[in-house]
Structure 1
């Protein structure tokens, strides 16, 4: 099949959950179909049969009439057969192209955006609800990351349940599971939090880590924060060790003893938790942070609590260098290759 793949983010580096999900979906499709790629800054991607580059990134890419015309011409001139949009930001172009061409439209939802916006307390969440509803009403196929999100989409927009399929976030499990892990040696215990730090739920999690959890943690334990953005957080929370963007986040995960996820808002499923579990490191998370993750598959490696005191106790009592194994079915549920083999609607 010949596809147009629309993404509002750069193809690299893999700096956040949405970018990672897009990467593995695009890789899966390119291995099986002819794909015309549309990413910010895309230049000479060998895996793509053609390119329709975006000029704007993030929310600035929500609507670009010139890009819409270029994408329409690419669909028409190359006899493309399907439109795939990833995330709400790329969804409006996909929905409009569906109306212009009548081609099948697949919408991959990273989050239920109106629900996340309402959780954040945004005043105009209802505008996002209207936009998201318009896009999803045009979609022939919808994929989302959890059963909770699927229920929100079906009930919130009265979608046909047959059109909405859960394709959870995942990890490149064989690569992570087979990677080498160094011994802790004489270093202090290290606990990690990572993510795109300009993303409000992650910035709030850093605040909670610094003000609610760190004061309860033993002095010789290092609390590390890694991720793109969030420069202002460094000055605000000097007790945390900030590492900025890390090229190989999995090497840093393996060099730490566990992950703390004090997330209070947001949606979808946390790729940071899945990647850490796949690296055989334990995780403690709030119930919001762990939303959508199968507790049986995660096994004892995932501890869920909404008590900051219990999070701090977990950190203090965690043995240095401990390996944690996931429960049964983790690989089947959360390996990217298996996810898209089983859930892609084509």
Structure 2
């Protein structure tokens, strides 16, 4: 592949975080360097960021460094995928002066033969090229039903809360990035330390104006070993979703504040009805929930979405709001039951995920229907 003079590539750095990848790392490194013959006007570097693997990964890399001059390695404590990538980006920018940085898994699940295609797309002026499993032509044939559902739901949350609905695969680990975008302080200060760093990075790059393109990939089975995705990573991913909303949507922040106020209205009315008026614990929740819904509606109508959909009547919007509240509640319950019964996920994590999904669904429908911007 020939690069145009205006887009000539001097240095391409592949950043590969590793932890216990002794069975996979040699073939991954060799397959990447093998693709250099298909790319002109480019120098390939591979940077291994190893989290002190106890299985001999580092020794294998050191042996290969004698064969490949542009193979580098840095080591450090195991603090999560995101922290490893940030260390790798910093080294690639400061020590290697990279023009393009690739993110790739070190376990062989990303097809190195696509590297020339990534670079040809970069040549067209794109700043972020994502190897996507969810665009036409992409696939995840080795995913279990459980992983497919969780991956789809996770991407849906990131896309619409993070303001990147145009991107189909926000959690893919196969990416090509214009290095200048990674020099910005907002990238260096991303708080996500684990797997959720991937989605945070996509949201931040697009908010900084990165021109993005997705190309289809097939996500294959690991050559050897087990996935490094832990329960801690999954919890962090869920907790990171609201942060993505806070970074991108003022309306979402106000909507969340109103939602929290509704909790206090609900509890306060319930307490007053049961403690001061002696109303039964069966009837009181119905009244307190309705008061919370009305409170939320009024605050959203006159604060969160002030000035939106002024043509529609107050009563009509109130009816829509009630309907959506019922739908989001049913979604919350349905997701909770599915996660604990089918996927045997911890009940507290499942409930949190259901609440989060229900709340986001509530926001999205109300924002785009009850208080739509345009009629």
State if a TM-score over 0.5 links the two structures.
no
Output the TM-score relative to the length of structure 2. Answer: 0.26
Larger strand percent: 1
Q: Which has the larger radius of gyration?
A: 2
Output the TM-score relative to the length of structure 1. Answer: 0.28
